[in-house]
Structure 1
Amino acid sequence: MAAPSKDEILAHFREQAEFCRALGSPFMEALCLAMVEDAEQHGPVGRLIKGWAGDPRRDALALRIAGYLHYSALGDKAPELTAVYPSANPDWTMEAVWPVAHDWLARHERAAKVFIKSPPQTNETRRAIALLPGFLKVASLFPGPMHLLELGASAGLNQNWDRFNYQTTRWELTGNSDVVIDTDWNGPPPDHIDMSFNVATRAACDQSPVNLSKPSAARRLKSYIWPDQPARLARLDAAIALARRTRVRVEKADAADWLKAKLASRPDEGPTVIYHSVFLQYPPAETRRALLSLIEDAGAEATWDRPLAWVCFEPAAFFQGPTQVGIEPNEFITYMRVWPEGEDHRLIRSDGHVTQVQAL
């Protein structure tokens, strides 16, 4: 595939600005547009994107550069940048922010180029509330000990989903942590809201797991949270503290290889639950096919004593079905399938940050 042109890359930045606006971040909207102008004027952003070989949209290139700037602002070596960012200056203006950000990028281009080689990882804990209806259904069908397998887990924050507190204007579910997950929930509460969870084992994998014992790794994770969204930042801090306390572990592995090994040795009692969120668009097509084949094969061998469930929150385009009236391909849905019967369900639809939910 030919490398993208500069115009194609800047189209991605403009599109990302619109996504940020729609998801409630005027700071990120303005920053993405400022980076477009800088690139057009041959500034440091133009030099950072020059020669980018991948698909800028798939690579989230704008968020990589924005993440480097936020990472710098969160540290103690860029006080001039920290001072103009929203955490220190709620009355920020991009007219004040960008000259400082421009100078920082110009002076640290080498560090920025190294930073943007890695993809963003937000480990968005709010997605747990999109997965929750699936977990509740699994618990209602199979009361035995639950065995969790998370794919693309990043830092593993969502391994603690059963310990989170869920709050909406329509319903609540209390956990045993300081992590609060809220959203604008439309429609009836999830079925089986009174179920309790019996989680016996937890395991997770990622190609590039975030080691939260390293302050720099936790800071990098936080850098991808948009700077003018303090509630998300606070929720991430609480989730990191919980993950450290519960000694969450994420194995470094290819998802297909890891899942094959885990399914081959899954326990003889209770449901095994494979889950993931906003993960499927990142592996190559052959890996997706291998994962789906592994899940189907394991499902075919499931029994009522040894059931299997697959719960995921992913772009709706992956799970288009004849009953999906009114669902756009760029929306996200919670999809689940359970075996031994192989029945599938589409439970909710939302956006990538789960700022609102529509029960299906």
Structure 2
Amino acid sequence: MKPAPSAPPPAQYPPLQVALIGYGGAGRIFHAPLIAGVPGLQLACIVTRQTDAVQRDWPAVSCVASVSAALADPAIDLVVIATPNASHFELAQAALQAGKHVVMDKPCTVTLTETETLLDLACQQGRVLTVFQNRRFDSDFLALQQVIQSGQLGRVVQLDSHFDRYRPTVPTRWREQNLPGSGLWFDLGPHLVDQSLVLFGRPDALLLEQASVRDDALVNDWFHAVLRYDTRHGSLRVILHASTLVAEPGPRWVVHGTRGSLTKFGLDVQEDALKTGQRPQLDALDNWGQDPQPGQLLRMENIPGVTTPVSVRMAAPNPAGNYLAYYAQLRDHLWGLQPEPGVTPAQVHAVMQLLTLGEQSAASGRFVVVPPAKP
């Protein structure tokens, strides 16, 4: 995926006016600076009670106390919902009924039925409903896509995706409470599932195990999922794993194929940069998103005169990550320059379906079959 181009001439494509609902971690760290960093998007208002924080961070942006006031504004084109998961459905429904396009912070909703209802409503209203899948633009994931598509690993037979952290103290926040849509599976699961779908499409079956490993944990803070691909990719297994109690993380990615392996340590640097208050600009990225720790390839190559393949080590590609590209893709679609938003309705549905099937698998302790996509 290449970063989206800079904005076309403003006279031809007027800026899209964006309302951000919620100014907690997701809204403050991710959405506000990314929206503001994309030419052609105008962060018009933020719906929050944290007026002092908004005035400090974005003095030129209006702070609105109520959702209804933002939705009633005819100038608003796009609504970004960055609120607790259980509120997503009601807010998105209201925004769509008000004629707005909607970006939902992941996950879309807390049930598949709610997501299907919203997708149907968006279709009826002729509006876009999409989900913020910024980790499609992690540096390591962009590199992984390049390596797999190049065929350097041959046929991929196993992929391990680990997103581990060391957070031994359970914080006081809604994600850690026993509420619908809480827990690590609904927090990091949407990212890892979406990346798997981008790489390989829908699996044939899914197995999920969840656990609460920290003292005083009220919800799952550890998960291990196995996605089984038999019909489209031969005998491929994709392993998705996340934990809050890993003091010494192993590789972020390990990929094995018939011709070699890829190993990548370290997480993408963009989240930490945003947490420090950095504000990237799409038309002046400089060294934004550059990974200091590229992955390593080990390829088995046939050497003339040598009877057995010889292992050759080399650095993997190291493209820069670019979360701004998510919003640039959406902007181009809303301007009519691209036929689809970056994250399509079918992809929104597929991620929510696998999250739901994962919960069913965890409850039964068995693989569950993934039904084919709706025509």
Q: Which has the higher helix share?
A: 1
Instruction: Work out which structure has the larger RCO, using CA pairs closer than 8 Å and 6 or more positions apart in sequence.
Output: 2
Q: Same fold (TM over 0.5)?
A: no
TM-score (norm 2): 0.30
Q: Which has the higher strand share?
A: 2
TM-score (norm 1): 0.31
